[in-house]
Structure 1
Amino acid sequence: MPSTAQPVASERVALVTGAAQGIGEATARRLAQDGTRLVLTDLTEDVVSAAARIAQDFPASRAIGLRADVTDPAATDHLVATAVGTFGRLDTVIVSGAVLQKRGPLAELDPAEWDRVMANNARAPFLLCRSAVPVLPRPGGSIVLLASFAGQRGINGYSAYCSSKAAVLLLTQSLALELAEEGIRVNAIAPAHVESAMGREDLERTAKSRGITEEEARRERDSFIPMRRQATAAEVAECMAFLCSPSSSYMTGACLDVNGGVILR
């Protein structure tokens, strides 16, 4: 019978993408509280300073930040190699980076915009998993991908974004089945509205397109959420941390809905 033992948090190493801000940074901070050692990446240099702050606040994390374009297979290979070269192992990959599309009808959607959204939201998770799977421990490795409630239903004007997040959900399920016997777990988080740069961008666009104030747009948005508020990045990070911890050792192919009741399944 295969062992289900996993290293304690202080021995684990995690690679977190989209870590310069929002859900990614909050997740990195949550893992750092347990002493998980961290390799953080984002498309901007801000990730370097974010990692430095985390390393200062949680020295055991030894967090390092690397600017990288995770739509490039050479970059994802380099990130994984850096984690293994620096810390001797890689236990967890958390893909929390994503981009929002420019809202509009499909007939007016520039193919370049479709490609940009798909590259960042669907190609990047594929490449990161492809680079990391060969080095993840068997058993004990884990992958957590960032999906969205938008991948569970269509949203008017967001065909590219919804399609990209639906791809993440099925990548999660397919890879979970592929790796189950090897003891590597693959799960996803599906948030709805989150206090983040992307959330603020969406609110600004909505307000501008409808000719209302951002506060009016916020109140209207929250009225459709059963809990009447958006999530904090820290609330999503708690779920991320759970899915890559031994506490979820019998979960794979799952998607946690962190949406305040927007979608009930």
Structure 2
Amino acid sequence: MEPRVPGLSSGSTVFISAGASGIGLTMAKRFLAQGCLVHVCDINEQGVADFIASHPNASGDVVDVSDYQRVKTMFEGIAAQFGHLDVLINNAGIAGPTAAVEDMDPNEWDKTIAIDLNSIFYVTKEATPLMKARGGAMINIASNAALFGFPLRGPYTAAKWAILGLTKTWAMELGVNKIRVNAICPGSVNGPRIEGVIERDAAGRGMTTDEIRTVYQRQSSMRLFVEADDIANTALFLASDMGKSISGQTIAVDGHTEGLSNFLEP
């Protein structure tokens, strides 16, 4: 049975973008286990349908969060459904292209910024009025790429660094409303997404996936990939009364990343 954390209950309402797969789905399940009402959005129609069917407190929408009008319409529905929101988790994001700056496709740049950065503004803009009446927790899922340079991953890195600036700014704007805003910076998380990144990197460098995986793991002092549950544990802490005085902070969950250069030593 899921251990109970203080300050989360059957009356707590939670929204998670990209909540029907990966880290988002893991977080959604953990909040459901606390008795929360959890609403997710995702572009994966089947994933959203499966999530809604999984639990009586689960609900969701199929929405591309890089489309502001669709986000706005979704939150009109959430306002009618819940009337308020206690926890907002901005989790949507893509890995984006792997390319040097001179080879970067501007369309791929724009797509990555739209999903990884613009969507966080759109969602937060619409969610904030639902949180002001009684306060709550906003959690932005950034990346340890927000703490370093990340060769060949320019748009992803730019978006994640910007998220940390928004986290600080919104913590200052919304603190008076008892809304605390924090960012989690995951390292490489075990699962299909990092495996896809590894495969693309290996193909681009003419190396094996095992060689690239070793390079990635060497970036961490603990020589590991983190688990989705590690991120969910941190989100639960920040959303609960255990984190009630924490705001404007960046928390890395990455086994202590030493750097993000993917290049092997010569």
For normalisation by structure 1, the TM-score amounts to: 0.90
d(CA) in 2 for partners of 1:8, 1:20: 21
Contact 1:185 1:252 in 2 (8 A): yes
Q: Mark the runs of 5 or more structure 2 residues left unpaired by the alignment.
A: 1-5, 260-266
User: Is 1:10–2:10 an aligned residue pair?
Assistant: yes
Q: Could you say which residue in structure 2 is the equivalent of 1:170?
A: 165
Among residues 236, 242, 250, which one is paired with 1:247 in the alignment? 242
| Alpha-carbon distance change, 170 to 206 in structure 1, aligned in 2, over 3 angstroms | same
Q: Could you say which residue in structure 1 is the equivalent of 2:213?
A: 218
Deviations 1:49-101 (A, max 9, x none): 3413541xxx4xx1012110111222222222222322332111101111112
| Alpha-carbon distance change, 7 to 76 in structure 1, aligned in 2, over 3 angstroms | farther
169-178 vs 223-232, which moves further: 223-232
Q: Could you say which residue in structure 1 is the equivalent of 2:130?
A: 135
Contact 1:71 1:123 in 2 (8 A): yes
Q: Could you say which residue in structure 2 is the equivalent of 1:22?
A: 22
Amino acid at match of 1:173: K
Amino acid at match of 1:52: I
Contact 1:186 1:252 in 2 (8 A): yes
RMSD after superposition? 1.7
Q: Could you say which residue in structure 1 is the equivalent of 2:194?
A: 199
Contact 1:140 1:183 in 2 (8 A): yes
Shift of 1:256: 0.8
User: Is 1:46–2:41 an aligned residue pair?
Assistant: no
Contact 1:91 1:137 in 2 (8 A): no
Q: Could you say which residue in structure 2 is the equivalent of 1:65?
A: 60
User: Is 1:189–2:184 an aligned residue pair?
Assistant: yes
d(CA) in 2 for partners of 1:227, 1:198: 21
Shift of 1:263: 4.4
Shift of 1:7: 5.9
d(CA) in 2 for partners of 1:103, 1:11: 43
For normalisation by structure 2, the TM-score amounts to: 0.90
d(CA) in 2 for partners of 1:201, 1:210: 14
Contact 1:138 1:183 in 2 (8 A): no
Q: Could you say which residue in structure 2 is the equivalent of 1:82?
A: 77
Q: Identity across aligned pairs (percent)?
A: 28
Matches within 5 A, 1:29-40: 29-40=29-40
User: Is 1:124–2:138 an aligned residue pair?
Assistant: no
d(CA) in 2 for partners of 1:144, 1:231: 18
d(CA) in 2 for partners of 1:135, 1:64: 17
Matches within 5 A, 1:106-117: 106-117=101-112
Shift of 1:241: 1.5
Q: Runs of 4 or more off by more than 4 Å in structure 1?
A: none
Deviations 1:97-130 (A, max 9, x none): 1111211111111211111111001100001000
Deviations 1:139-171 (A, max 9, x none): 432211111111111111111111010011101
Amino acid at match of 1:34: Q
d(CA) in 2 for partners of 1:107, 1:205: 18
Contact 1:19 1:41 in 2 (8 A): yes
SS of the counterpart of 2:14?
strand
Contact 1:104 1:157 in 2 (8 A): yes
d(CA) in 2 for partners of 1:125, 1:150: 17
Contact 1:13 1:83 in 2 (8 A): no
Amino acid at match of 2:130: V
d(CA) in 1 for partners of 2:50, 2:160: 26
Amino acid at match of 1:118: I
